[in-house]
């Protein structure tokens, strides 16, 4: 089999995604775990690029790596380093966790079942089309999501700073 | 394969550009700061003190790279690279001349805003792995500051994108008109101030705060790893100035051909000098002033700018 750059990129991305995800699950040190998560999130951006969706890729970097991951790290920095060493990987809630994990797996597989057979999602589409569909056909959904996020933001402010001094 | 080799060449070129920018940047900054202090600045080593910084650089490279005993060694060694690489990557989308940007991508404007902000992850890791109170506080401040100032900065660039109707930097430059400077005046001010905050320069140097946190998140670094942090800082100043000079001030659009590129470089130097002027003129902000500036002043200003542009665009 002849290897071209796209194939190399595919295998490299797969390896990085799996390594990042595995690190995020199997590491006991919370900082390295988050680093693994960061590698995984970046590799997801790589997948979007691989399938030709540059805008979604950069949005992934902007929101998840530059925003969410930094907030997680920010929260971890406030943690007190435990004197008793690192926490155990096993959980008391093994059964509940298993139920949730199976449920999520079923959800993902059923929603992606068209593509499980080996057919890849449609590639391409100009970035401008995302804007057109977001502010066209999907405008109500877009607005609803915006209102929901605004409500969450206001709620957070009320919870944090609601007390009158 | 040629794309891969090309990327490698551009990567090396970008690295060299940042290294050179740091060497000249430090010299220029010391000269400007000297004038502000009514001194001359470096003058003994070489003509006009030009060899002072290369000598300092040599010293820095030869210096022992100390890894303190209590640090998380692997994360400690990795952190400077995570800080440096995103800033170097951001240089690739800058439209250096008509029809030429090393990475000509349809999402270039967003790329320039999104990618350099990743270096804050490295700052947090540096602060965490140093296991040192100063470094931890520095890392925390860096994260809070970067996340806050990303918003007005992105909004200010958004008004240019709306005017140009494109996120490809080269298309923005082609669409650029001299009256945009007036139409985007508020946006440019917001971009300039929030860029100073993004590069952690005074008055927004709370993450480093020499006089209270020693050097903040990189307090425990020495030798070449310290040098990488320093280079990143100058690289970020250069990148922010290049981008601002291009999309807000028009860069090479004013003059044809090579003259335009020279003017673009001159505008960039002007912005760098302006940042140095601000740095040596204003005292450091308090952290509450920092947040107030970002959320209550700059963000509304950027929104007003967006409304102005929104009114103009239908009449274009």
Three-state SS at A121: coil
Please tell me the predicted confidence (pLDDT) of residue A148: 95
Looking at this predicted complex, what is its ipTM?
0.77
How many Å is the Cα radius of gyration of chain B? 20
Question: Is residue A2 domain-shared with residue A36, that is, in the same domain?
Answer: yes
Under 8 Å CB-to-CB from A118, ≥6 apart: which residues?
none
Question: Is residue A121 domain-shared with residue A131, that is, in the same domain?
Answer: no
- The answer to the question of residue A91 being in a domain is no
What confidence tens digit (pLDDT) does each residue in B135-192 have?
888 888 888 888 888 889 989 998 888 888 888 888 888 888 888 888 888 989 999 9
Nearest to B28 by CA among B49, B7, B1: B49
Question: Is residue A25 domain-shared with residue A65, that is, in the same domain?
Answer: yes
- The answer to the question of residue A46 being in a domain is yes
Three-state SS at B97: strand
| Unique residue bearing structure tokens 């990129």 | A9
Give residue B27's Cα distance to chain centre. Answer: 17
Given a cut of 70, is residue B23 above it in pLDDT? yes
Residue A55 with chain B: CB contacts under 8 Å = 106-107, 110
- For residue B59, the surrounding DSSP H or E stretch is helix B52-62
Three-state SS at A28: coil
Range of the domain at B84: 2-315
- The answer to the question of residue A93 being in a domain is no
Please tell me the predicted confidence (pLDDT) of residue B304: 92
Give the closest of B105, B111, B128 to A77, CB-based. Answer: B128
CA-to-CA distance for B299 and B305, rounded, in angstroms?
Answer: 10
Nearest to B229 by CA among B87, B75, B43: B87
Question: Is residue A67 domain-shared with residue A4, that is, in the same domain?
Answer: yes
Given a cut of 80, is residue B38 above it in pLDDT? yes
Cβ distance of B110 and A62 shorter than 8 Å: yes
CA-to-CA distance for B246 and B202, rounded, in angstroms?
Answer: 24
Question: Is residue A19 domain-shared with residue A50, that is, in the same domain?
Answer: yes
Higher confidence at residue A114 or residue B234?
A: B234
Cβ distance of B114 and A61 shorter than 8 Å: yes
Residues B187 and B149: beta-carbon distance below 8 Å? no
Q: Determine which of B110, B135, B151 to mutate to test the interface with A (most A C-beta atoms within 10 Å).
A: B110
What confidence tens digit (pLDDT) does each residue in B62-106 have?
888 777 887 778 888 888 888 888 888 888 888 887 777 777 777
Question: Is residue A43 domain-shared with residue A120, that is, in the same domain?
Answer: yes
Q: What is the CATH number of the domain that holds A54?
A: 1.20.120.1200
Look at A75-84, B51-60, B163-172, B286-295 and tell me which has the smallest mean pLDDT: A75-84
Residue A43 tokens read as 């590799």
Q: Is B79 on the interface with A (CB under 8 A)?
A: no
Residues B138 and B217: beta-carbon distance below 8 Å? yes
Higher confidence at residue B50 or residue A23?
A: A23
Q: For the residues of B272-315, what is the DSSP string, one character each?
A: HHHHHHHHTTSPPPPHHHHHHIIIIIIHHHHHHHHHHHHHHGGG
Given a cut of 80, is residue B231 above it in pLDDT? yes
B289-315 mean pLDDT: 87
The number of folded domains in chain A is: 2
Give the closest of B107, B114, B124 to A66, CB-based. Answer: B114
- The answer to the question of residue A70 being in a domain is yes
B238-244 mean pLDDT: 89
The number of folded domains in chain B is: 1
Question: Is residue A146 domain-shared with residue A162, that is, in the same domain?
Answer: yes
- The answer to the question of residue A49 being in a domain is yes
Given a cut of 80, is residue B197 above it in pLDDT? yes
Question: Is residue A64 domain-shared with residue A144, that is, in the same domain?
Answer: no
Q: CB-based burial of residue A4 (10 Å sphere; 0-12 exposed, 13-18 middle, 19+ buried)?
A: exposed
CA-to-CA distance for B267 and B177, rounded, in angstroms?
Answer: 16
Question: Is residue A143 domain-shared with residue A117, that is, in the same domain?
Answer: no
Question: Is residue A164 domain-shared with residue A141, that is, in the same domain?
Answer: yes
Residue B150 with chain A: CB contacts under 8 Å = 66
* A/B interface, count of CB pairs below 8 Å: 69
Residue B168 with chain A: CB contacts under 8 Å = none
Average pLDDT taken over every residue of chain A: 80
Residue A58 with chain B: CB contacts under 8 Å = 107, 110-111, 114
Residues A28 and A12: beta-carbon distance below 8 Å? no
Cα B260 to Cα B152, B235, B243, B281, distances in angstroms: 29, 22, 15, 31
- For residue A41, the surrounding DSSP H or E stretch is helix A30-50
- The answer to the question of residue A97 being in a domain is no
Range of the domain at A29: 1-82+112-125
**What's the half-sphere exposure (Cβ side, CA atoms, 13 Å) at B82?**
23
Cβ distance of B144 and A74 shorter than 8 Å: yes
Question: Is residue A77 domain-shared with residue A136, that is, in the same domain?
Answer: no
Please tell me the predicted confidence (pLDDT) of residue B16: 82
CA-to-CA distance for B201 and B76, rounded, in angstroms?
Answer: 23
């Amino acid at each position: 089999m002849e290897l071209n750059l796209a194939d190399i990129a595919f295998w490299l991305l797969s390896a990085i995604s799996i390594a990042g995800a595995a690190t995020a699950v199997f590491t006991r040190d919370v900082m390295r775990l988050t680093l693994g998560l960061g590698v995984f999130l970046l590799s997801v951006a790589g997948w979007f690029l691989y399938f030709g969706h540059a805008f979604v890729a950069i949005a992934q970097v902007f929101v998840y790596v530059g925003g969410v991951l930094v907030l997680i790290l920010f929260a971890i920095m406030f943690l007190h380093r435990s004197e008793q060493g690192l926490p155990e990987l096993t959980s008391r809630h093994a059964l509940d966790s298993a139920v949730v994990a199976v449920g999520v797996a079923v959800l993902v597989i059923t929603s992606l079942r068209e593509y499980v057979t080996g057919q890849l999602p449609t590639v391409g589409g100009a970035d401008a089309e995302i804007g057109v569909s977001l502010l066209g056909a999907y405008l109500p959904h877009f607005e609803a999501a915006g209102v929901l996020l605004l409500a969450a933001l206001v709620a957070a402010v009320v919870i944090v700073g609601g007390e009158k001094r | 394969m040629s794309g891969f080799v090309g990327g490698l060449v551009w990567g090396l070129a970008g690295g060299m550009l940042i290294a050179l920018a740091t060497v000249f940047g430090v010299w220029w900054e010391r000269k400007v700061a000297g004038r502000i202090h009514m001194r001359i600045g470096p003058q003994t080593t070489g003509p006009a003190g030009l060899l002072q910084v290369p000598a300092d650089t040599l010293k820095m490279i030869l210096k022992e790279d100390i890894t303190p005993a209590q640090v998380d060694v692997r994360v400690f060694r990795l952190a400077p690279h995570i800080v440096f690489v995103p800033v170097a990557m951001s240089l690739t989308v800058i439209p250096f001349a008509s029809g030429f940007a090393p990475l000509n991508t349809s999402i270039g404007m967003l790329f320039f805003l999104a990618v350099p902000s990743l270096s804050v992850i490295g700052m947090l890791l540096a602060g965490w792995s140093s296991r040192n109170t100063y470094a931890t506080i520095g890392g925390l401040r860096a994260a809070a500051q970067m996340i806050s100032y990303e918003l007005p900065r992105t909004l200010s660039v958004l008004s240019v994108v709306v005017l140009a109707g494109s996120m490809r930097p080269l298309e923005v430059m082609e669409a650029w008109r001299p009256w945009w400077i007036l139409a985007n005046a508020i946006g440019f001010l917001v971009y300039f101030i929030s860029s100073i905050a993004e590069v952690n320069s005074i008055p927004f140097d709370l993450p480093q705060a020499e006089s209270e946190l020693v050097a903040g998140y990189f307090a425990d670094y020495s030798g070449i790893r310290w040098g990488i942090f320093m280079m990143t800082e100058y690289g970020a100043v250069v990148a922010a100035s290049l981008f601002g000079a291009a999309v807000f001030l028009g860069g090479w659009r004013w003059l044809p051909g090579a003259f335009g590129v020279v003017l673009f470089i001159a505008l960039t130097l002007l912005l760098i000098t302006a940042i140095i002027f601000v740095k040596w003129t204003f005292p450091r902000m308090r952290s509450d002033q920092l947040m107030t500036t970002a959320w209550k002043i700059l963000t509304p200003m950027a929104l007003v700018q967006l409304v102005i542009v929104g009114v103009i665009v239908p009449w274009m």
